[in-house]
Chains A and B, each alone.
Chain A
Amino acid sequence: MLLIPSTTLPASAPVVEGLAGWRVVADPASLDELSGTLPVPPPSAGRGVVLRFAPDDALVLGENEVVVTDPHAIVEPDTGWVSIQMTEEHALDLIATHALWPAPPERPVLVQGMLAGLSVKVYLDGNQSMIITAAPFGLELEERLGT
């Protein structure tokens, strides 16, 4: 399993790459615990990152195994996402030209919304920024941002 998003240097033409991790749906308290045990981004070698999509929903990257205290949690390997790696500057430029919402000032930060008409999650953190979307939208995102 690919643990960490590619370290491919940011390119001017966006290229989507597969993203693999663990999807965890659990009670919010156990996800809070999980977030507490894993470092806040940026991910580094062998360290995971929890991208919290919702209080009870997260995508965990960079971990071989995920354990949560919620006995009824759904923990599934998930390869249904793709990402475009880029610099924060590039991501902010894409937000300005393809989104109807402003980028928040906090760093690192995960924001979710529409970009170029597609549902995305944008992770802003310096040179490790990335745009994430569901795999079925991957090529569409690449085409729309590449024009």
Chain B
Amino acid sequence: MSFTFDGRDISFAPGDSIAVALLRAGIHPTGGGCICLGGDCPHCLVRVDGVAYVRSCQTTAAAGMVVESQAGDPPLPESTVQAPVEVRTVFADLVIVGQGEAGRRAAADVSGEVLSFDAGRGEEVIGIYAGPMVIVRTPAGMVHARCQRVIVATGAAEEQPICPGSDLAGIFTQRAAEKLSSAGIDLGRTVQLTQHPQRFVGEGHVTGVILEDGSRLECDSVIVDLGLHPRDALARMGEGLEIETVGEAAMPGELPPPPLTGTVCPCSKVEVSDLDSVWDRGFQEMELVKRATLAGTGTCQGGVCLPHLRSYLAARQSQAPSAFTARPVTRQLTMSEAAAGFDLAPFRRTSLHQEHLRLGAIMDRFGGWWRPWRYPDVDAEYRAVRTAASLGDVGTLGKMLVAGPGAVELLERLYPCRVEDLKPGGVRYALLLDERGYVIDDGLICRLSDTRFFLTFTSGGASFAEMWVRDWAETFGLDVRILDRTMSLGAINVTGPRAKELMNRLGVSDLPGYLAHTQADVAGIPCRIIRLSFTGEVSFELHHPVDRSVELWRALEAAGSDIDLYPHGLDALFTLRLEKGHFIVGMDSEYDSTPRRLGLEWAARLDKADFVGKQALLRTNLIPLNKRLVGWEMDGPAPVEGSILIHGDAPVGQVTSSRFSPVLGKTVMLGWVRLEDDRFPEEVQVDGRVARHAAHPFYDPSGERARG
């Protein structure tokens, strides 16, 4: 059995770690540095099958592995697409990290559900997070263990020598030497040290050691037995969590003599002279020294340097400082492992999603949904709406049923428009205000009966609207039933000058008038037909069960096949609605947009009884209007949305929506403008061109086309 190391075949015995196999072959995994074989130092880090920072002493050798030395920073992986790593979430009362003697004893002494992890079984604990949640890498994938408390029984690490020559090969800790001996590896002539030497000597490999008294010992290997310090990083990263440390991990540990020269932190290559430098500059606390030098921030997370840093500071202060805070991760982690179990926020697909793809639509994400942007001929889409008939998928709109004896009162108190006088079959456009009088959404109120209403909201605002309506119903203590129908109902907008004809062809002769609705079958499919207009042309929204959407869409397509019917996506819709001057909440409105600032005073009836936001409107209406959303027009192509409006030399606002209008032959825009010298500018510069204030709707201002 063999693996390759930098292209060379390395044989290994069953159970060998990569490090042991390399040492048996006479190879130091990193070229030099004291080997611990305990996972505490950075001196055996290699790349395994492309994964960098692998502790070769903790990784069992396997046939066919491609192992490479890791000099300096490893290169980024060649492929950016990695296979997902499986993750399991497990639950227990107690998690024990470490299954040495102390860990086994702890497991025997407790009741409840206990999970244990041990690096010897290939289970590397990466970190402990709030919860507590213990993140573990196992041979089978990642484990996220959620528990009530954690016992850290990770034992102790051996101190490493800090002196010149400590980066030579041939230096081993006592435990490492024992493991190598058990593996049948001959270390040659050895010198055993129980005290820090003055220095190691040799060229690449140790050949001798100079002791404190200056005497020199010749050798092939040095075994250091300098003491232990607690391997308690996991406990130190769980400040405030239910974590108990037991066994050697809980021992105080004796500090080594303060380092005088040499590399203190082999991960970050921090020398004693670097510590002197930061000390002299005033960084004299443990956490500051760590940050100033980066000692303890490398791969081994203080496994080597921490006792020496404490000793260095203790020698200059009256007492030994506490260990620095440890932070995840204690072991290297691939991006795939880190991302395991993380899910991106989803985007919903309408019941017509596949239909849009069939039609060649370019899809985009908008308001939490995948929506068709173009089909892809945006000119044909626009033309169909203005001259013939078109279909638009508006199934993303928020939809809600409100019923009950308190329904009228709820909506009267929720909306700034009148509700009580709306007759069954009637439709009213409505703003939704917050307590500050700011517009948070808009939509329609459709009255179904005396005590039953169908409401619509914007696509992006539907979830919030549901919460909003429910909260206020509870606050007011009203007897209502509320059902969000957004996910259950599809909606198709049939629009254009020939929309009525299309509906007639599908058997609907008794069409609702403008701002009215009715329930009727369209092509045999039960629909709530709502007559309104966002495009500026005659429009019917057909709200229907989502499982019938494709059937309805295709029936409409077939019925309009001889009248230049063409679907329209968001790109065309944005031009169409802008020509009508319809604003979009969140796109044209700002967080502090009142009806007055939007030019929609008519939508807030201040003469009706109290409603959410009324008191704020009454107060703010006393203040002179200082900014407002208005229409602009200019010659030439549309400037980028967000462009600044300049008056004189001063910026006075910005464009929120901007499109070239094919039917008007000029660019039309909506944009915020601030009061300037007690008046709103009538002419501004945008993109170095003149834009003129213009009343909107820009297209069909009398609304004749929409009313049909």
Contact = CB atoms under 8 A, between A and B. Distances in A.
B343 A25 contact: no
Given A97-B87, A100-B89, A102-B91, A79 B483 contact: no
Interface stretch (B22-30, B304-312, B315-323, B347-355): B347-355
Contacts of A80: 485, 487-489, 545-546
A76 B346 contact: no
Contacts of A138: 349
Nearest to B451: A72
Interface in B338-387: 341-351, 353, 369
A139 B547 CA distance: 14
A80 B344 CA distance: 23
A32 interface: no
A79 B451 contact: no
A56 B84 CA distance: 40
Contacts of B347: 140
B401 A74 contact: yes
Interface string A134-147: 11111110001001
Size class of B's contact patch?
A: 35 or more
A18 interface: yes
Interface in A49-93: 56-57, 70, 72-74, 76-81
Contact of B405 (A18, A72, A73, A79): A72
A110 B401 CA distance: 25
A145 B548 CA distance: 26
A117 interface: yes
A147 B547 contact: no
Nearest to B404: A72
A60 to B, nearest CB: 13
Contacts, number: 93
Contacts of B605: none
B348 A137 contact: yes
A116 B481 contact: no
B641 interface: no
Given A97-B86, A102-B91, A135-B546, A73 B348 contact: no
A96 B351 contact: no
Contact of B545 (A73, A79, A101, A102): A79
Interface in B616-649: none
Given A76-B401, A79-B546, A136 B487 contact: yes
Interface in A95-147: 96-102, 116-118, 134-140, 144, 147
Interface in B41-79: none
B547 A18 contact: yes
B546 A72 contact: no
Contact of B84 (A74, A100, A118, A147): A147
A134 B487 contact: yes
Contact of B349 (A18, A26, A72, A140): A140
A72 B353 CA distance: 35
B1 interface: no
Interface-central residue, B91, B144, B342, by most chain A CB under 10 Å:
B91
Contacts of A135: 351, 487-488, 546-547
Contacts of A96: 88-90
B479 interface: yes
Contact of B483 (A74, A100, A136): A74
A117 B369 contact: no
Contacts of B489: 80
Given A117-B344, A136-B349, A136-B350, A72 B481 contact: yes
B403 interface: yes
A98 to B, nearest CB: 8
A34 interface: no
Given A23-B488, A100-B89, A74 B547 contact: no
B545 A77 contact: yes
Contacts of B107: none
B482 interface: yes
Given A134-B487, A135-B546, A74 B481 contact: yes
A117 B488 contact: no
Interface centre among B87, B343, B353 (most CB of A within 10 A): B343
Given A72-B403, A117-B345, A139-B349, A26 B488 contact: no
B546 A137 contact: no
A140 B346 contact: yes
Contacts of B86: 97
Contacts of B91: 102
A4 interface: no
Nearest to A99: B89
A131 B546 CA distance: 19
A96 B145 CA distance: 11
B176 to A, nearest CB: 38
Contact of A23 (B351, B479, B480, B483): B483
A135 B479 CA distance: 30
Contacts of B548: 79
A137 B346 contact: yes
Nearest to A80: B488
A20 interface: yes
B401 A117 contact: no
A106 B485 CA distance: 31
B547 A20 contact: yes
Contacts of B84: 147
A136 B90 CA distance: 29
With most chain B CB atoms within 10 A of its CB, the pick from A57, A80, A96, A100 is A80
A77 B547 CA distance: 11
A26 B517 CA distance: 25
Nearest to A134: B487
15 contacts: A20-B547, A23-B483, A25-B481, A56-B481, A57-B483, A72-B479, A80-B489, A100-B146, A101-B89, A117-B346, A135-B487, A135-B488, A136-B369, A136-B487, A140-B349
In the A-B complex, the 10 residue pairs with the closest CB atoms? A117-B343, A80-B488, A136-B348, A134-B487, A79-B547, A72-B404, A80-B487, A25-B481, A102-B91, A25-B483
Interface of B: 84, 86-91, 144, 146, 341-351, 353, 369, 401, 403-405, 451, 479-483, 485, 487-489, 545-548
Given A135-B487, A147-B84, 5 more contacts: A25-B481, A56-B481, A80-B546, A81-B488, A135-B351
